[in-house]
């Protein structure tokens, strides 16, 4: 694999060039101490060592609300609406990129999601090896500490002033060399990048995670439908939907239509929805097939630990820990829930 060494002093010039062609988004720390991806400007101080972006990156491909169709009621004509800006996400951690790769697969299945795929097609992704692990994260134990595809460049900081940059696509290499030639990485720099990845992975493992191989999770859930944990934990659920809103692999949405006041034109739009909200499973006839909080709470863990696995062979939880931090009732911790189920099953054996 081709790799280059990039000095920190080269990056401002590269960002200027990239921003001339693409909407560039980078991680930044806000005044409250939270990290988030924002639109880059020359004044932006990039948070190279951020541990976790508060909001997931799915919003760049699946906005919280977007128009999908416009229609004219006089001519009886309708036109699709696809807004897919050319954009660059610089600094995506491996677990978040694995989440994006999952969405790529899931939203291509069945009837492909045209709007999502158009945005994905117009997005360049520069991955970044994390240098710190968020207190709520457990991605290494879920197998999401490494990603082998989906990026155009993969950046690893190997010293305070330099990066080891692996090329993942022709487009990525062209952008990297946009300001001129760069030195090819040496074998020593490759080893330095490897050591950095192993160091961060070890830190994630040391911080704690699943107490069993993640591949066992679907079978564990097969035995746990009647577990008391669903009722015990869901008693404290506020049904606010925070856990699914921040989750990088949740992609459910609702579709609605609005007509202008003159009843001539209108639009169809979609907006995020979530299985933890009481109205999510409400259908015609006022029937709700997951009316109770316990049913919604259990569904979420089955969705992450079994249903998505049955579709693509990967767990739907990448171990980012955003839901752990967002839940005010402190019950939305997949690591804690799966470990408790595992211990209960182990004790019964």
If you average pLDDT over residues 167-193, what whole number do you get?
A: 96
Mean pLDDT of 178-194: 96
Neighbours of 311 (CB within 10 A): 13
Express each pLDDT in 88-142 by its tens digit: 999 999 999 999 999 999 999 999 999 999 999 999 999 999 999 999 999 999 9
Quote the radius of gyration of the chain (alpha carbons, Å). Answer: 22
Would you state the pLDDT for residue 152? 98
- φ and ψ at residue 125, rounded to 5 degrees: -120, 125
pLDDT for 335 beyond 60 = yes
The pLDDT value given to residue 220: 96
Q: Which pLDDT band holds residue 310 (cuts at 50, 70, 90)?
A: very high
CA–CA separation, 10 vs 182, rounded Å?
10
Question: How many CB atoms neighbour CB 158 within 10 A?
Answer: 22
Is pLDDT at 187 greater than 80 in this prediction? yes
pLDDT of residue 163: 98
Report helix, strand or coil for 50: coil
- Does residue 267 surpass a pLDDT of 90? yes
The average pLDDT across 20-47 equals 97
Overall pTM surpassing 0.85 (yes/no)? yes
How far is residue 272's CA from residue 316's CA, in Å, rounded to a whole number?
18
DSSP letters along 113-154, please?
-HHHHHHHHTEEEEEE--SS--TT--GGGGT-S---SS-SEE
Reported confidence tier of residue 1, pLDDT bands at 50, 70, 90: confident
Residues 60 and 97 sit within 8 Å (Cβ to Cβ): no
Q: Average pLDDT of 280-294?
A: 94
CA nearest neighbour of 86 among 18, 171, 21: 21
And the tokens for 201? Answer: 């992975």
pLDDT at 347 exceeding the cut of 70 = no
pLDDT attached to residue 346 = 74
The residue count of the chain comes to 349
Q: What whole-number distance in Å separates Cα of residue 143 and Cα of residue 255? A: 34
Judge contact between 8 and 162, C-beta under 8 A. yes
What pLDDT score was predicted for residue 348?
55
| 64-80 residue pLDDT tens | 999 999 999 999 999 99
Kindly report the backbone phi and psi dihedral angles of residue 281, in degrees, each rounded to the nearest multiple of 5, phi listed first: -100, 15
CB 71 within 8 A of CB 78: yes
Q: Which residues on adjacent β-strands are paired with residue 164?
A: 5, 156
- The pLDDT assigned to 349 comes to 53
The answer to whether 161 and 5 are in contact (CB under 8 A) is no
Residue 215 has a pLDDT of 95
Q: Give residue limits of the domains in the chain.
A: 3-206, 214-344
């Amino acid at each position: 694999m081709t790799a280059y060494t990039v000095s920190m002093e080269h990056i401002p010039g590269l960002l200027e060039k990239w921003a001339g062609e693409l909407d560039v988004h980078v991680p930044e720390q806000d005044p409250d101490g939270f990290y988030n991806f924002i639109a880059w400007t020359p004044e932006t101080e990039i948070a190279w060592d951020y541990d976790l972006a508060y909001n997931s990156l799915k919003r760049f491909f699946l906005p919280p609300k977007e128009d999908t169709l416009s229609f004219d009621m006089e001519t009886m004509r309708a036109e699709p609406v696809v807004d897919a800006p050319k954009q660059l996400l610089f600094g995506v951690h491996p677990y978040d990129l694995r989440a994006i790769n999952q969405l790529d697969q899931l939203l291509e299945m069945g009837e492909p999601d045209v709007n999502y795929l158009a945005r994905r097609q117009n997005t360049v992704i520069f991955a970044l090896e994390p240098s710190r692990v968020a207190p709520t994260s457990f991605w290494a134990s879920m197998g999401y500490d490494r990603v082998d595809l989906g990026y155009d460049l993969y950046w690893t900081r190997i010293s305070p002033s330099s990066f080891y940059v692996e090329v993942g696509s022709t487009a990525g290499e062209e952008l990297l060399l946009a300001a001129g030639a760069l030195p090819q990485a040496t074998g020593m720099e490759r080893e330095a990048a490897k050591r950095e990845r192993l160091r961060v992975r070890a830190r994630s493992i040391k911080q704690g995670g699943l107490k069993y191989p993640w591949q066992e999770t679907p079978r564990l859930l097969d035995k746990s439908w009647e577990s008391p944990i669903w009722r015990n934990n869901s008693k404290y659920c506020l049904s606010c939907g925070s856990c699914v809103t921040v989750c990088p692999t949740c992609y459910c949405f609702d579709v609605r239509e609005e007509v202008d006041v003159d009843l001539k034109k209108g639009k169809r739009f979609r907006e995020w929805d979530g299985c933890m909200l009481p109205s999510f499973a409400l259908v015609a006839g006022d029937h709700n097939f997951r009316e109770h909080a316990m049913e919604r709470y259990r569904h979420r863990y089955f969705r992450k630990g079994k249903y998505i696995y049955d579709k693509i062979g990967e767990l739907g939880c990448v171990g980012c820990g955003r839901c752990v931090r967002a839940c005010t009732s402190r019950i939305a911790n997949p690591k804690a829930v799966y470990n408790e189920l595992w211990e209960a099953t182990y004790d019964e054996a």
